[in-house]
Amino acid sequence: MSINPEHTSLPSSPSASQLDEVKQAIKSLLHQPDYDDGSAGPVLVRLAWHAAGTYCAATNTGGSNGAGMRYEKEGGDPANAGLQHARTFLEPIKKASPWITYSDLWTLAAVVAVSEMGGPNIPWQGGRTDFTDDSRVPPRGRLPDGSKGADHLRWIFYRMGFDDREIVALSGAHNLGRCHSDRSGFEGKWVNNPTRFSNTYFKLLKMHDWKNKVLANGLEQYVYVDEDLKDEDPELAEEETLMMLPTDMALLEDPSFRVWVDKFAEDKELFFRDFAAVFAKLLELGIQRDVGGRVVNEENLKDGYRSAPKKSDSSGRPEWDQNEEQVGHEAGRLKKENEQYSKKEKSRVVVKAKL
C-alpha cells in the first residue's frame, strides 16, 4: 500500500456535525434486547477487529481500509462468521448518512462502542475509502485461531507489527461478548458481564481453576463452574459458566505474556491506556496519511472522500448494489436472519420464565 505521488487532489472530510450525528446513531443502536446479552457493542468491536486484523506488514496488504468484508472473498471466511449481524446493525446508519464509508463506519462504531461500554476513549481518524471490487481483498487465514497456543499468537500478531505487550492488551477485548458454537465453534462468555469493558478478563484468567472441556464438535476450551451455585441452582450455574480459549490460557503459560496479564489484572488504568493505544494502532494498520491526516493510499480513489453505495433492501440483481462480486443484498437478507434470531431468543426467554 504505497503512497501515490499523483494524489494532488485530496479527499475532503465530513463536518463535525455530520460525524457527531453518526456517533449518536451508533450509541442509539447499541441497545439490542433481542441480541447477545442485550447489546450490539461487542460484535461491533469484533467487526472492526477482524476488518483490521488482516494486515500483513511484510506485504503491506490488508487492514481496515477498503471494507473488504463486504465481498464473499473476505466476508465468507469462516473466521468472520456472525459478523453479518454487526454489518446489518450498522446498515441503517449507512442509509441515513451515505457520505460515510463502510470502512470508516465499522471502525468508528467499535471506538464508540468501547467508550459507551465503559472503556477508554480510543483515538480515531477517518478518511478510509471502500474498495469497488475484491481485487485487493487479502487472503483468508490471517486472523487468530482460538484453538492454538503462544507460537500461533506471535505468528499472527508479529505479522502485523505488534509486540508481546500489545498482544496481551488486545486480548483484553475478550472482556466483551461471547463465543457461539455455530460461529467460532467455541461456546460461552469470558466474564459475567460481557457488555462492560474492564480488566476483569485478566483477573478471572488468573483467579480461577480452569478445567479442560471437549465440546461436541471436538474443540477444546477451558471452563469454570461455580460449584456452590451449581448445588443451589444448576440451570443458573450452567448459564453463568465462564470459558477461556486455548489462546487465552497461553497468555498465562507463556512467561513473556504472563508478565502483562499480571500487570493488567492489577492496574485497570494501565490496561485502559495500553488498549486505547494498541486498538488505535490496529485500526490504522496499512493506512498512509499525509501531514494533514488524510488517507493517500494508492488504492484510494482520487478526487474525493469516496463511499461505496448503500446496499439495497429490495430484491434484484447483486450487481445493482455495487458489482457482481459484491455480497448482494446483505441488508435485506440479514434483516430476516436477525428477525428469526429475535423470535428464537424471545421464545427461549418465555420458556425459561415458565420453568
Q: Between helices 200-207 and 255-266, what is the axis angle to 10°? A: 120
- The alpha helices in 175-254, defined as continuous H runs, are 200-207, 227-232, 234-239, 246-253
Annotated catalytic residue 210: no
Between CA 176 and CA 257 the distance in angstroms is 20
User: Catalytic: which of 49, 106, 124, 190?
Assistant: 190
DSSP string, 213-233: EE-TTS-EEEEE--HHHHHH-
Q: Are 251 and 257 in contact (CB under 8 A)?
A: yes
3-state helix, strand, coil in the chain (%, to 5): 50, 10, 45
User: Catalytic: which of 7, 49, 50, 260?
Assistant: 50
Q: Are 137 and 66 in contact (CB under 8 A)?
A: yes
* Cell numbers representing residue 20 in the block: 457527531
Q: What long-range pairs does 151-154 form, CB within 8 A, spacing at least 24? A: 152/247, 153/247, 153/250, 153/257
Between CA 3 and CA 295 the distance in angstroms is 9
* Cell numbers representing residue 325 in the block: 462480486
Annotated catalytic residue 31: no
Q: Any residues with CB less than 8 A from the CB of 138 and at least 6 apart, and which?
A: 54, 55, 56, 61, 62, 68, 74
Catalytic machinery residues: 50, 190
